[in-house]
Structures are given as structure tokens and as C-alpha cells.
Structure 1
Amino acid sequence: MPAVNYDELSKLQKLAIFLIVLGPETAAEILRQFEDAEIETICQEMTHFQVIDKELQARVVREFSTVIGANIGSLTGGAAFARRTLALAKGDTKAASILEKIAPGSHSGEGLQEIDEMEPRQIYNLLRTEQPQTIAFILSYLEPPKAADIVALFEPNMRDEIIERLSRLDGTPIEMVSKVAKSIIKNVTRTKVTVHTSGGVRFAAEILNASDRETSKEILARLEQRDLELGNAIRKKMFGFADLVRLEQRDIQRIMREVDTNDLVIALKNATPLLRDAICGALSKRAAETLREELEMLGSVRPKEIEMAQDRIIKIVRRLEEQEEISLEPGGASVAG
């Protein structure tokens, strides 16, 4: 880290340095007086100061206090210090959650590698007696396909609860109950991993997308009955190939400019007449005629090939939506006309 100009440091940066000087135990006592959002901000600054020289320590101490222990040596801060301090202030699990938000990957996937190496059935057996909120916390750190396999093992009502809680995790600090923390996190030591960003509507949608269609359809229907706004938010993120039919023609036209012709033909193999008409209606007359001819000439295609072609098109759809070039809402406005 380059030399630090003390006069250019903000008050927040000076506080972070001062807490490092105090050491994890004392710093933890101070941090307990702050809200989680404030702790995240302070600890984010801590991670920036890997080594603090004696002169900088002394100046910070003089500003914050007139009395400090003698013999201050070169102190180390950084992510490791932030992790130790957070663990003392908030516990191991909360520390992992906060640190992942302020310095992704810096907590080395503590407590999660052990779970990630388990089979879905093993994880299910570990979690099946836990509360839905606790289960949602654990699943939010797994890849969606694996999380979907685990969700499928629960009873329908529990599936609904888990998906709903997953969708509400976004942007909030996640706290895991001590029982699960002790049984899962205590054994983690090995490989450093960067964990999946936890929770949220998008993650809930990814899990439902990775589930079999009947299961995801049932869960989503029940969620919409309980919370229509939340259900609609998840459904939007779940956007599937068949949903192209509800887009505005200008948005379909924009999508078609990116789509490989062979993918389009295969993807439409078993599509409804309504969807085929919607696609053809967005093409030029000549292109639409060519597409219909190729569909008529197309022989048998394995369902997996159809699904893969549809998935490639949906990836394009999601990219364009993220770039705000199209809208996935019927009648929605997009940047690109």
C-alpha cells in the first residue's frame, strides 16, 4: 500500500486505523455500538490498511485519545483483522456475511466449503429440521442447480417458505442460528473459495429455473397467492422461452438481431403457434417465410437440444434486459426503440 498522507484521511479512515491500533477485542466492543450497515462501512476501510506504521499509529492515537499503551510496534490490519474483529463483535456467521459484502472472497469461504462438497441429500438431512429462514441462508451460498435439488427434497409447503425467504434476503445482513453455525461452520479449514452472492429475488428465480418445471410452477403459483408483488418479481427474473410471446414486437425484433438462426429454428421446434406467430411477426416478410420453411423441413430433435437452444436465446434476452435495451414487462418501455 502506498504511503498514507494523514492530512488526507477521512474521519472514517482514521476511525478504522484507530480500531486496528486498539486490537480486535477492544475494537469489537466498540463496534457492538454500531448498526450493521455502519460496521460494514468501517470494516471496509479496515481492509484497506494492511500495515500501519508507527508514525501513523501515533498520530491517530493522539487525535482519538491522550492515553495509550506504550511500545506500539508495526501493526497489521486488512481483511484478516476485520474478520477477527467482526467475529468478536457479531459472531462467526454474521462476520462471514458482512465481510463477504465488503470484501468478496476475503473470508475464504469459511464454513461453506464443507457444505459445498456434500451431496444434496446430505445437505437436506442436515437442514431438514431447521427453520425456513435458516435453510434459505445456507442455500443462498450454493449454486442454483444444487440448491434446486435440495429444495425439491422438502415438502411442498416448506419449499414455498424457503423460496419466499430466499427472495427476501437481498440487501440485508444474514444471520444464521447458532445450532447450524456450530454443526456446519466449525469444520471448515481447507480450500479458499469465493462464495455465491447470497439471497435475493434473482437467486430465488435461479433456483426455480433449475427446478423441474412442474415444481417451479406450483411453488410460484402459491407464492403469488401469498404475495402477488413478490411472485411477480420472481416471475420476471424467471423469464422463460415461452414468455417471449408477451413481449412488445420492438423488443422481440431487438432480440432476433442477436439470435443465431439455427438456434431459433431448433428452439421453435415444439413451440406453440402463438409463439411462432409472435416471432415471425417481428421478422421481415422474407425472413419469416424462410423460418417457417425451415421449421417444416426440420426433422426430429432431441428435447435436450431444444432446451439448450432456448437457453442460449434466453441468455441473450437477459443480457439485453440488463443493458436496458429491452423490457420484459408487457408494454414496458426500453431504451432501445
Structure 2
Amino acid sequence: MSLSGPEKTALLLLLLEEPEAAGLLARLDAQEVEQVGRAMLSVAEASPQTIDEVLGEVLEVARDIVSVSEGPPAVRDLLGRALGEERAGGIIERIGHEARPPLFEQLGWQEPWAIATLLEPEHPQVQAFVLAQLPTPRAALILARLPAAGQPDLVRRIATLGPVMPTAAETLDAALSERIAATRPRQPLAELGGMQRAADLINLAGVDEARALEALSTVDKGAADLLSETLFTFADLSRLDSRALQTLLRGLDADMLVPALRAAPAPLRALLLGAMPQRAAEALNDEIDNRGPVKIDEAATAQKAIAAAARKLAAEGTISLPGKGPAYV
């Protein structure tokens, strides 16, 4: 049975006394704790032979460590052989605390939305410094939750970030650590529910869309409009039958169709053009080709307007929107 690094660690922890196992776990960061925790479930029924192999490997490494006199390179080599180069590199970083301030170890236990909430009031240079210290996938999740207007500037700052004085890093560490300890950011409602979650529930449960929108509209018309947009989008036009598409397209002008179709996926564009009379489709296709590049905002606005026109026709009973609760008749 061939085990991964986290699985070997998990098996070793299961064999140790609780205090020793807890001490080792405390040295891992949040991601590694999660990996080892998952691995514990898969190695709990390991065979005696597998246990012997892992213990033998641990003892071999232990004997090597006793004789090490070459310093960090030898330690890196030992850990690399035992756990793999990638994981060994992370452990070496944690052994040398100078490589990364304690602050960023604390951030490893925070959700991306919480870190974004923590960083939002800070100066962009502080935000850039913190993001630059975090793993790229995690930093990307945090960046996406910061105000969109400032994201390009943050990327620029990260790209041009130079060395930071240790004293400045320590000051930042102390300031943000105090805020982490003193505040517990509240998870935004969008993370718990939101329009997409509501739309998914309506679609999956077969809830009457019209009644749901009417109920929401009495409380918040703006929210009802947003939910309506989420329930049926431009991409959903691909699920309309040919008669509904023809009815919809007859009421749309070229000024709306050209930017919308210019940015549409090729299959959807072909479907919509195929629902038009041949001569009209050829003329529209020529206009799309001759139009040149279209601004993303312009295309998105046109696509939303077309989806809104479809929803309006459905509300009037002219066409039916499939898969969105009871069909309109």
C-alpha cells in the first residue's frame, strides 16, 4: 500500500500518544491540518505491514537526523525524502520563523471573506503586502472579495512590491494581530444565501416562479428584479423551443442583437441565427462581422435586455420559459 505524505503523517499521529500527536499537529498550518485530518479517515484501517513500513521509514529518518551536521540543506533533504519536496519546503519555512511573520500563519485559519473584511480598511500597499505572502490560490479568493475598483491597482502593487523592512513587517503583524483578536468579522449574507442560491432552490424544488417573485417584490422590488435576472439569463435562451425563439427575435432590433450575439458563444449564436429567416440571419451575421470589437459592458447590457424581453413575454403568457417552475401558458 503506497501512502502519500499526508497519509504517512496521519498514520504516525494515530500511533502516537495524544499529547505528542497534538504537539505535532500544532506545528502544521491550516491546510496541512485539513489534509492530515482527511488522510486519517483513509489510513485508520491500515494493515500491520503498512504500519511497519511507515514506522521503518520514520526510524530511518530519525537515525539520519541524529547524525546531521551539515545544517539546513541536510534537513531539507531529509524532509524531502520523507514527505516530498513540496511539503518539505513548507515545513522548512515554518521552522525558520524569520521567513514568514506569525500573522500569516493566523490568516491560514481565516476564511477568505474574513481576511478581505480585515484588509479592506487598510492602505492598498498593506493589502498588497499581505496578499503577496499568501499562497496564490488563496490570495486570489481574497482579492476577488475586495472592492473591484481597487483590484487593478492591487495587482500592480503586488507586481512591483520590493523588500519590506523587518520592523515594518513586525509593526503590521502587531496591528493586524490585535484586530484579529479583537474582532470576529461577520460572514456576509451573500455567502449564506444570495440570489443564485434562491434561484437554484426555485429551479430544483419546482417553486412557482411568478408567486415567489411577487412575494419578494412586495418586500423589495429591486431584489425581485435581481432574482428574476438570475432565474432566466441570456444563456438560458438555448433552452427555448424554436417557436418561442422566433417570437422573441421578432421583437428585437439589430442594435440590441449585434452586440449581444457578437459576445455570445458560437453554439448559442448559431441557434439564434437559425431561428431567424435566412435572409435576415445573413444580414445580421454580416453586420456582426463588420461591427468589429464590442465593449464587454455594451454586450452584457444587450444580453440582459434580451433576457428581460424573454421574461416579459413569458409573464404576458406569450412564450414559456422551460425549467423555471410551472410553465407559462
TM-score, L = length of structure 2: 0.34
TM-score, L = length of structure 1: 0.33
| Structure in which a larger fraction of residues adopt helix | 2
